[in-house]
Chain A
Amino acid sequence: MKPPTSHDIYGNVIEYDHEEILNEHVVIRRISFEHLWNDNGVLRISSKAYKPSTGDGEGVSVDLKHLIEEAGIDPKIFGITSKFKGAVLLNVGDLRQLNLKVGYDPIKPPDPNPYHCQIWGINDKRARVLKSKAVWLVQYPNAEIQ
């Protein structure tokens, strides 16, 4: 996978759509306890889990599933710990239909993640669409996806 070429003055990858990330590819978004709200005993994922942090220029972190698999790692295990107990899948084709960009953005040591990507262009409305399209890779215990 070609590395990103354009960075801002802080070293952050500038949003772009990676040509090698195809519409049939799938990305993984990890779900932590803090993303959930309690609906009378049933945990539900907040739309905030799909929103970028501070608006313009900020993306949402995901991992590229096929890169993890090509490395011989089970995506259901990668990144899933006692704290990060859940993960959802999003189709890249669905993301691009919403005019979102998906770019490769590997994280360097000390906590490397060579499968890391970002989704750019998500606003509040699109985040709710993503929420409706997400499916479990690893279901968070006692949680519903919608």
Chain B
Amino acid sequence: MTRTTAFSPELESVMNFKVGPEVATSSTNSPVRRGNHNRQSNWYTMAFIKLNYLRNLESGWDGYRGKPVSEQNAYFALSMLTKICTDDTPAPHIIPGSGGDLQIEWHTTKGDIELNIIAPYKVNVWIDYKDHEEEIELTLGWNFDSIAEHVKKITE
């Protein structure tokens, strides 16, 4: 049976290619394990299924003028997740925005983290640790290392 997804064949092949080679290049000191094993992780499967669903939302899905999640944002989200999650990371909640954007969230007893993906490499981050008074807000660009640490602390 042919597997159909909302990602184009071109992006599917890029995803297959990009996730693999990172195994060889990732640092052994990295707090985040990267590579093919992520593709068998529970969170990966759940995120892949959810992103496909969100890619196929009907126009007006939000009761107004909402658009489906864009392919670029869906691909970026999955790519980012492979960099910030470990095999043991629980599946994130993925919430669509009305303009093809999306938000990735974890809510645990340790805190809350929201990654608001406006566009690829334009991510607003909000972190609220239950045992800290101050909330953390930052903007992500190309470097996901700092956020990977927070995801690990909140979800482990």
Chain A residues proximal to chain B, CB less than 8 Å: 30, 32, 34-35, 37-39, 44, 46-49, 51-55, 58, 60-61, 79, 83-84, 107, 111, 113, 116, 124-125, 128
List of B residues within 8 angstroms of A49 by Cβ: 95
List of A residues within 8 angstroms of B99 by Cβ: 52-54, 58
Given contacts A32-B62, A125-B126, 7 further A-B contacts (CB under 8 A): A34-B95, A35-B62, A47-B103, A47-B114, A48-B105, A53-B97, A53-B99
Chain A residue with the shortest CB-CB distance to B60: A111
* Given A48-B95, A124-B124, A39-B107 contact (CB < 8 Å): yes
B93 touches A37 (CB 8 A): yes
B35 contacts chain A at the CB level, 8 A cutoff: no
Interface readout for B21-58 with A: 1 if CB under 8 Å, 0 if not?
A: 00000000000000000000000000000000010010
CB distance from A58 to the nearest CB of B (A): 6
Q: List 23 interface pairs A-B (beta carbons < 8 Å), by A numbering.
A: A30-B64, A32-B61, A37-B93, A38-B93, A47-B103, A47-B114, A48-B95, A48-B103, A48-B116, A51-B103, A51-B116, A52-B97, A52-B99, A53-B97, A54-B119, A55-B118, A79-B63, A107-B64, A116-B64, A124-B124, A124-B126, A125-B137, A128-B126
List of B residues within 8 angstroms of A113 by Cβ: 64
B62 touches A30 (CB 8 A): yes
Tally of A-B Cβ pairs under 8 angstroms:
78
A37 touches B63 (CB 8 A): no
* Given A34-B62, A54-B101, A124-B95 contact (CB < 8 Å): no
List of A residues within 8 angstroms of B100 by Cβ: 53-54
Dominant SS among interface residues on chain B: strand
Chain B residue with the shortest CB-CB distance to A87: B63
B132 contacts chain A at the CB level, 8 A cutoff: no
List of A residues within 8 angstroms of B64 by Cβ: 30, 61, 107, 113, 116
Interface readout for B82-122 with A: 1 if CB under 8 Å, 0 if not?
A: 00000000000101111111110101000000101011000
CB distance from B117 to the nearest CB of A (A): 10
Q: Which of B60, B62, B107, B119 has the most CB of A within 10 A?
A: B62
List of B residues within 8 angstroms of A111 by Cβ: 60
List of B residues within 8 angstroms of A37 by Cβ: 93, 95, 105, 107
Bound-state Cα–Cα, A106 to B84, Å:
42
CB distance from B119 to the nearest CB of A (A): 7
Chain A residue with the shortest CB-CB distance to B58: A83
